[in-house]
Structure 1
Amino acid sequence: MAIQTSTERRAARVRRAVKAAANGRPRLSVHRSSKNIYAQIIDDVEGKTLVSASTLETVLKDSLKTGADTDAATAVGKLVAERAVAAGVTQVVFDRGRFIYHGRVKALAEAAREGGLDF
């Protein structure tokens, strides 16, 4: 058995709770790096990504000062919500992964809620 770090244990714990609460809903998965933020809506039943958005896309990259602040996270949250609603997805379960619900992760979640996602 491999030894897990505390962040790997936290990620596994969060993923377990998200899957238990999902009830067939797709999950909004968030990944935050030091320079960018990424969001994707994943259907775990089929194992497919339905929509995604990140600060690396040219739509956002040109208009943002940096990809590593709450303004960038808000823009990604709005964009992923807009794409999800266009794809017919309105209810999701939020998967913050190993990241604490604070700062950029919180800004992305609140922007996605304002954009029409329900979680």
Structure 2
Amino acid sequence: MPKNLKTAARRKASVRRNLRKVAEAGRPRLSVFRSSKHIYAQVIDDVNGHTLAAASSNEKDLRSKTGADTAAATAVGKLIAERASKAGVKNVVFDRGSYIYHGRVKALAEGAREGGLNF
């Protein structure tokens, strides 16, 4: 396995390990996936194994010239917060995966906080 993949896998495992420590019983997690062109977010209930809400920059109403900038990530954050509140979720645990809390991931988190999610 190349060194950069080992580093990402180690970072992801570290984040998930800390999430298990922080997560309360029944507290869903806000999972983020960042590709080169888009950003995706899901609110997942790990106890029941269901996705409660999802949003991405690839949706028709958010599709712009590009989904790979901080403005699109902020819009996705606000949309996921709106959909999560419709599903009855206010408190989540932020799961950034193997991504560093910077740039688009940080913009999505700030947009979700502006939208009303607590983490």
* TM-score, L = length of structure 1: 0.93
Q: Which of the residues 42, 45, 48 maps onto 1:43?
A: 45
| CA RMSD across the alignment | 1.3
Gaps of 5+ in 2: none
Gaps of 5+ in 1: none
User: Does 2:23 correspond to 1:22?
Assistant: yes
Q: Percent identity?
A: 68
* TM-score, L = length of structure 2: 0.93
Q: What amino acid does structure 1 have at the position aligned with 2:75?
A: A
User: Does 2:111 correspond to 1:111?
Assistant: yes
What is the distance in 2 between the residues matched to 1:35 and 1:49?
23
Q: CA deviation at 1:59?
A: 1.6
What is the distance in 2 between the residues matched to 1:90 and 1:74?
18
What is the distance in 2 between the residues matched to 1:51 and 1:19?
21
1:88-113 CA distance string (max 9 Å, x none): 10000000000000010000000100
- In the TM superposition, structure 1's runs of 4+ consecutive aligned residues that sit over 4 Å from their partners are none
